[in-house]
Each structure stands twice: as structure tokens, then as C-alpha cells.
């Protein structure tokens, strides 16, 4: 037995254990050696806890501490300090409270070092009451105590209280240090308190602390948050250190203020200096490019990140997945999915939820469902994402089923949940089911319907042809009707050819959002279809007088690794001749099958043949034709459009899908249209 080993052998075992705990040692071997020590002293316990925490295994560190207590080993000040820092790393409030009780139980409640660590721990756990209790019970407080307490208030989103503590600190003649200043400046950022931020900046300059990189970073962030980008830039330029932390902050400031090129210049400078970039730098610039609409640049930087040897982490993945949504690139999304599987990120709820959303918005609802049902744990956001995914694909029944399943499992729905499920009811004409859900919101779930929920119900009633009921619903809303509600009624008036209600809805819309070109166009089209040419002309005239310009229609499709974009009448594609030839040829077959071009809404100065040709030039039809010509054995194509799909194109694509024998999926800003066998999933109402 090891316990019977000569005492001369035991020191050798202790030595091996301590060597295994060194920076390049084997932590697993250290644990094995620790278990072989007959009666480890408190120093060995503390070393093991500390090393587990430093190596990124805080859960293991807590297990070691629990084991220490089970063996009735009395922890000393260092052991308690070590496990307090472990709890701070984890942000585990239940364990944190237990550690606090142990500090009191073992008589260390007056210890300043431990008291400061406890305040910091509670701050990381976002538990202000615990931190305040420790702070108030300290007989003596140093600069770390005051700094930790103010930081705790900042972490708990109580910036005014943080500033109050900062002022009390000054009244108690405790001089702030760089950590104090870098932790209190975010309170000024949160409150957009530029004057107070400037006062602190003045103190920093007078006391020669302006060269501290963390203080400078906090100053840059404060000025940027207060929309003083010039002053943020001035602080950055005057700092003698070109540190990646500071660079990350100024890049974020530039991105937030719409100065993408300046942010990219700082990033290039950082790389030219040979500074080793961490994940924060890569993620900052990838996320910033996404925020600025530079999706291609974000993907390019992701490739450069991988080429540099840096491996994307969870934040990188969740930042870059929206690029696949913007470009409709399900292939790239699948590549990222593969990377996620290889890196074992699927256990992370945020990453898995981002994947669910990506597949749904790229048009593959089945893959979206597969990822969702494989998630071991699903929070409210995950359920909402899947409900909304089904809704946007016109699967209202599935959205309802998911909602009831979510509630039955005890997951609490929120406002977004109801927006998703009511939208699903609307798209699938499940009016009565939608009304039941709507009225259950406040009665059963304690959530008062907001303007968005009312708009969903107006949309549901309108789509089902219950226009008068929808109009009355708007009139009786306890809230001021929004553009969404009137827009739903206007859209339904087009479908059901109710000019009077269209006129009423249109009048409201032109007052609520006079800059929205879509309302003018839709109202004008309704009048044109009703042969009310004079009223249609008046709307177009009003549009011109107000300087309202219709956003050009644009459609795109990915073939292999390239995204191809089309605008109306586009002739810039390498296959332009083939596209127009195909459309002319298939057009004859479509007419034989019963297709009749809807030329009513095309300019009146064209003859019938020119009107038909004009319709064939629409961007979505060109993109669909290009996709069909490049099928390469695929059974479906996906096209994305920035504007609502044209009514005639919608009709034409139904015939195209039937004649060619493929499924055509088109995503416009409102929803997905799945065309197959001459039918569309929207049932011709969108």
C-alpha cells in the first residue's frame, strides 16, 4: 500500500506532482500523482485548484475543492482565495454563495484580500447584493475594494451606482489607479455622459496615466459611445503603444460610426507591425465588416484568419454565419457547419441556434429542423428561431405545434415567440387559431400584445379575406396602428380587389411613412388594375414631387462557389444570350400550358408584345433561368430577391417549375415561396 511507503519516498512523489503542475506540465498526470499522495497538505490542494483554473478547467477546480471539504481538510486563506477566483471565472452564483459562507465559517470574513476577491466574484456573477454585503462589512477598504465594487455595478448594468461609488471613493481620499479608471469609464459610456468622461480624462492627463493601454482603450470607447469619434481618434493617435487591445476598441468605434475603411486600415497596420492577433482582433473586424454590409470582405478576412493559423472560435462562427444568409450561400453555410462539427461546437446553444437560422433563411427548412432537434438543450431563443423559420416558409401548422410543444416542456415564451407563431398563422390562413393564441398572451402568459402582434392579427384576417373585420380590428386597437398593420390591409386589398379599403389604408401609410416607395408603387398598381388611371397617375405624381425613388429590384443566385446578381433587363452575365433564348423558348411552352402574362401593370406607352418582353426582363426571372441552365443534376434552385416578388413572375415561375420539373425556391423580404408542380407554398397570397 502507498500509505505504508517509507517517508523518504513521499517527498519524491510531492516533487513529481509539483513539476507536473508547472506551465508545460501534464495536468492529468498531476491529478494521478495527487491521488497517490497519502495525505496531501493544504498547499497541494490549493496548487491543484489554481492550476485547473489557470488551464481553463474551472469545473474540475471546484470538484477538487468539494473533495477537500468532504475529506474535512480545513482550507486556509490561499485555498479560499483560489476557489473564489475559480467561481469568478465560472460566474456560478450558487457555488459563489457557498464559498462566501465558507469564508465566514472559517473565520476569514475580516480578511481584506479575500473580501476584495469576493466582491470581484459576485461582480462576475452579476449579484450586486452579495458584493454590497461584503463591501459594507469590510472594516478597512483599499483601492481594490472600491474598484471592485464600482466594477460590480458596471457589470450589473447600474452605471449611476458605479459613479456614486467612484465619487464616494474620492471623498474617502482613496486615489484611483489605472484599473479603477478603466473600469469606471464604461459607466460614462453607458450613460452617454460626455462631460463626466471628459472630467475623468482630465484627471488621467494631470496624473500621467494616459499611456496605460487599458485606460486609453476605455477612453476611446467612451468617446465613441458618446458620438465623439474625433476625440476617440485623438486619444488613439496620441497613445504611444500600438496594442491590439487598443486597436480592437478603435476598430469597433470606426465600425459603429460607419467608417469601415478606417477600421480596416487600423487592422492592416496591426498586421504589418507583426503583432500577433488574438481571436478578439479577428472577430472584431469580421463582425464589423458584417455590420457594415461588407459580407465579401468578412469572408475574405475569415479565410486570411485560417491561413494565418488562427482557428475560428464560437464568436467567429456566429459572426460569419449571417454572411451565408445575406448571400443565400447554403454551400458555404454547410462548410461552416462541418467546421462546427469538427470543433465540437454543436453543444453550444448560440452556435446551434445560429445554424438553425442560417439553414432556414437559406431555404433549407429540413436541415434547419435536423440541427434543431439534435440540440441537447434548447432555450427560448432556439425555439423562437425554429418557430420563425417555419413561419417564413409558410408552415403555420408546424409553427403552432412547436409553440405548444415549447410551452408543454416548460420553456417560457416571450414577445418574439408570439410574433413568430402569429406570423405563421397568418401565412397559413389559420385565423381562428391565431386569435386564440393572441387572446391567450395576457391571460395565460402575462405578455401584453404590442403593435407587432396586432399587425400580425390584421395580416391574418386580411389574408383570409376578412377585410372588414381586419379594418375594424385596426380601428379598435388600444395602440396607435403602425405601418405594418395598414400595410397588411393594403396588400390584402390588392389580392381581393377592394379599392375602397386600399384607398383608406394607402392614405394612412403615405402619412405614417411618406418615404417608403413601396406603398406608392403598390397603391398605384391597385388603381391601375382597377382601371383608375387618373388616381394611379396622381400617386405617381405625388411620388415624383416628394422625390421618392423606388429601390431597384435585384435578385441573386449561387452557382458553385460564385454568387450571380441580376437586375431588370440585365445583360452583363456571361450566359446572357442563353438566358434570353431559354426564356423565349420556354415562354411558348408556358402559354400552351395556360400561362397568360399579366401586362396590366406595365407602362401604358408599350404595345402588348413589348409589355410581355418587359416582364421577361425582371431580375427574378433572369436569375431563375440562369439557375435552370446551370442545374448540373440538382433537383432544386434557390433565388433571393431584395424586393417583393413581382405578381406576373410569381405566376410564371409556377409554370416554369412544372414544365422543367424542378423545385424553385424564391426568398423575398416577406417570406419563402416554394414552387413545385405548378403550385406555390404561399397559395398565391404573399
- Cα dihedral 243, 249, 255, 260, rounded to 10, equals -10
Please give the average per-residue pLDDT across 314-324, as a whole number: 82
What are the two backbone dihedrals, phi and then psi, of residue 344, each rounded to the nearest 5 degrees? Answer: 60, 35
The length of the chain is 686
pTM beyond 0.85, yes or no: no
Confidence of residue 327 (pLDDT cuts 50, 70, 90): low
What's the rounded Cα separation, in Å, for the pair 449 and 298? 38
Segment 347-363, tens digit of pLDDT? 788 889 999 999 999 88
Chain position carrying cell 432555450: 379
Helix (H, G, I), strand (E, B) or coil at 330: helix
Q: Assess whether pLDDT exceeds 90 at residue 240.
A: no
**Quick one: average pLDDT of 114-135?**
95
pLDDT tens track for 252-267: 999 988 899 999 999 9
| Under 8 Å between Cβ of 622 and 566 | yes
C-alpha cell at 465: 379575406
Could you state, in order of their start, the residue ranges of all structural domains in the chain? Answer: 12-140, 554-680
Scan for cell 475560428, then name that residue.
Answer: 312
What's the pLDDT tens digit per position in 520-553? 989 998 998 899 999 999 999 999 999 998 888 8
What confidence tier does 600 reach under pLDDT thresholds 50, 70, 90? low
SS (H, E, C) 186-248: HHHHHHCCHHHHHHHHHHHHHCCCCCCHHHHHHHHHHHHHCCCHHHHHHHHHHCCCCCHHHHH
What does the pLDDT read at residue 608?
47
16-19: which pairs have CB atoms within 8 A and are 24 or more residues apart? 17/44, 18/47
* Cα–Cα distance measured from residue 595 to residue 590, given in angstroms and rounded to the nearest whole number: 5
Cell numbers 425554429: residue: 386
Any residues with CB less than 8 A from the CB of 297 and at least 6 apart, and which?
A: 264, 289
Domain at 12-140, CATH class: mainly alpha
Q: How far apart are CA 140 and CA 146, in angstroms?
A: 11
Mean of the per-residue pLDDT values of the chain: 88
Q: How far apart are CA 129 and CA 666, in angstroms?
A: 53
CA atoms within 13 A on the CB side of 622: 26
Instruction: Report whether 399 contacts 390 (CB < 8 A).
Output: yes
**Phi and psi torsions of 210, nearest 5°:** -70, -15
Q: What is the DSSP string of 108-119?
A: -TT-HHHHHHHH
- pLDDT (tens digit, 9 = 90+) per residue, 652-672? 999 999 999 999 999 988 889
Count of beta carbons in the 10 Å neighbourhood of residue 402:
25
Sheet holding 679-680, edge to edge: 562-567, 554-559, 636-641, 663-667, 672-676, 679-680
In this prediction, residue 686 carries a pLDDT of 67
Q: Inform me whether the pLDDT recorded for 398 exceeds 50.
A: yes
End-to-end CA distance of the chain: 79
458-488 pLDDT, tens per residue?
Answer: 999 998 899 999 999 999 999 999 999 999 9
Q: Within 10 Å of residue 495's Cβ, how many Cβ atoms?
A: 16
Cα 307 to Cα 321: distance, rounded to the nearest angstrom: 19
Each residue of 135-150: b (16+ CB within 10 Å) or e? beebeebeebbbbbbb
Give the three cell numbers for residue 131: 458584493
Question: Which of 13-22, 455-464, 676-685 ranks highest by mean pLDDT?
Answer: 455-464
- Per-residue pLDDT at 375: 92
Instruction: Write down the pLDDT at residue 238.
Output: 86
Contact (CB, 8 A) for 64 and 46: no
The span from the CA of 245 to the CA of 254, in Å, is 15
44 contacts: CB under 8 Å, gap ≥ 6? 14, 17, 34, 37
Instruction: Report strand pairing: 636-641 vs 554-559.
Output: antiparallel
> In angstroms, how far is CA 423 from the centroid of its own chain?
20
Amino acid at each position: 500500500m502507498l500509505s505504508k511507503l517509507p517517508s523518504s519516498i513521499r517527498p519524491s512523489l510531492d516533487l513529481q506532482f509539483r513539476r507536473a503542475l508547472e506551465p508545460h506540465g501534464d495536468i492529468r498526470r498531476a491529478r494521478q500523482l495527487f491521488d497517490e499522495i497519502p495525505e496531501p497538505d493544504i498547499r497541494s490542494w490549493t496548487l491543484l485548484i489554481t492550476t485547473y483554473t489557470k488551464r481553463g478547467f474551472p469545473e474540475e477546480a471546484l470538484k477538487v475543492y468539494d473533495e477537500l471539504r468532504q475529506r474535512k481538510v480545513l482550507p486556509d486563506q490561499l485555498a479560499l482565495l483560489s476557489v473564489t477566483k475559480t467561481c469568478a471565472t465560472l460566474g456560478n452564483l450558487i457555488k459563489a454563495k457557498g464559498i462566501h459562507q465558507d469564508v465566514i465559517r472559517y473565520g476569514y470574513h475580516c480578511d481584506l484580500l479575500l473580501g476584495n476577491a469576493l466582491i470581484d466574484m459576485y461582480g462576475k456573477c452579476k449579484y450586486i447584493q452579495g458584493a454590497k454585503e461584503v463591501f459594507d462589512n469590510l472594516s478597512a477598504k483599499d483601492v481594490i475594494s472600491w474598484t471592485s465594487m464600482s466594477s460590480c455595478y458596471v457589470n450589473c448594468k447600474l452605471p449611476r451606482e458605479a459613479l456614486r461609488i467612484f465619487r464616494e471613493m474620492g471623498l474617502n481620499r482613496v486615489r484611483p489607479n489605472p484599473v479603477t479608471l478603466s473600469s469606471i469609464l464604461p459607466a460614462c459610456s453607458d450613460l452617454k455622459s460626455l462631460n463626466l468622461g471628459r472630467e475623468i480624462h482630465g484627471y488621467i492627463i494631470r496624473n500621467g496615466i494616459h499611456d496605460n493601454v487599458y485606460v486609453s482603450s476605455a477612453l476611446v470607447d467612451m468617446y465613441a459611445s458618446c458620438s465623439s469619434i474625433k476625440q476617440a481618434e485623438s486619444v488613439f493617435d496620441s497613445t504611444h503603444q500600438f496594442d491590439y487591445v487598443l486597436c480592437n476598441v478603435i476598430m469597433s468605434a470606426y465600425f459603429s460610426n460607419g467608417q469601415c475603411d478606417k477600421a480596416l486600415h487600423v487592422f492592416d497596420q496591426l498586421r504589418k507591425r507583426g503583432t500577433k492577433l488574438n481571436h478578439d482582433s479577428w472577430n472584431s473586424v469580421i463582425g464589423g465588416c458584417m455590420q457594415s454590409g461588407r459580407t465579401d470582405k468578412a469572408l475574405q478576412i475569415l479565410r486570411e484568419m485560417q491561413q494565418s493559423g488562427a482557428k475560428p472560435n464560437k464568436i467567429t462562427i456566429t459572426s460569419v454565419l449571417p454572411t451565408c444568409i445575406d448571400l443565400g450561400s447554403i454551400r458555404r453555410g454547410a462548410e461552416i457547419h462541418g467546421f462546427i462539427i469538427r470543433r465540437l461546437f454543436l453543444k453550444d446553444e448560440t452556435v446551434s441556434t445560429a445554424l438553425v437560422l442560417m439553414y432556414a433563411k437559406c431555404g433549407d427548412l429540413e436541415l434547419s429542423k435536423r440541427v434543431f432537434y439534435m440540440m441537447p438543450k434548447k432555450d427560448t431563443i432556439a425555439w423562437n428561431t425554429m418557430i420563425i423559420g417555419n413561419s417564413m416558409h409558410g408552415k403555420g401548422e408546424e409553427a403552432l405545434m412547436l409553440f405548444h410543444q415549447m410551452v408543454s416542456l416548460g420553456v417560457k415564451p416571450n414577445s418574439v415567440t408570439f410574433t413568430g407563431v402569429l406570423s405563421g398563422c397568418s401565412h397559413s390562413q389559420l385565423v381562428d387559431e391565431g386569435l386564440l393564441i393572441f387572446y391567450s398572451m395576457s391571460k395565460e402568459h402575462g405578455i401584453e400584445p404590442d403593435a407587432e402582434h396586432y399587425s400580425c392579427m390584421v395580416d391574418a384576417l386580411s389574408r383570409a379575406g376578412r377585410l372588414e373585420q381586419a379594418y375594424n380590428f385596426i380601428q379598435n386597437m388600444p395602440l396607435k396602428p403602425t405601418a405594418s398593420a395598414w400595410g397588411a390591409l393594403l396588400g390584402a386589398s390588392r389580392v381581393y380587389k377592394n379599392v375602397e379599403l386600399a384607398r383608406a389604408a394607402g392614405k394612412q401609410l403615405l402619412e405614417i411613412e411618406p418615404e417608403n416607395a413601396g406603398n406608392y408603387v403598390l397603391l398605384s398598381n391597385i388603381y391601375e388594375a382597377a382601371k383608375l388611371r387618373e388616381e394611379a397617375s396622381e400617386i405617381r405624381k405625388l411620388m415624383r414631387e416628394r422625390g421618392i425613388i423606388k429601390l431597384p429590384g435585384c435578385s441573386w443566385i449561387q452557382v458553385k462557389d460564385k454568387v450571380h446578381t441580376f437586375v431588370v433587363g440585365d445583360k452583363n452575365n456571361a450566359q446572357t444570350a442563353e438566358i434570353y433564348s431559354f426564356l423565349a423558348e420556354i415562354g411558348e411552352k408556358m402559354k400552351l400550358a395556360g400561362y397568360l402574362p399579366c401586362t396590366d401593370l406595365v407602362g401604358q406607352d408599350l404595345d402588348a408584345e413589348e409589355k410581355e418582353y418587359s416582364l421577361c426582363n425582371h431580375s427574378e426571372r433572369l436569375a431563375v433561368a440562369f439557375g435552370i441552365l446551370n442545374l448540373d443534376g440538382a433537383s432544386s434552385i434557390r433565388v433571393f430577391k431584395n424586393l417583393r416578388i413581382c405578381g406576373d413572375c410569381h405566376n410564371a415561375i409556377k409554370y416554369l417549375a412544372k414544365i422543367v420539373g424542378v423545385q424553385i425556391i424564391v426568398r423575398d423580404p416577406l417570406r419563402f415561396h416554394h414552387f413545385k408542380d405548378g403550385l406555390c407554398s404561399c397559395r398565391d397570397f404573399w
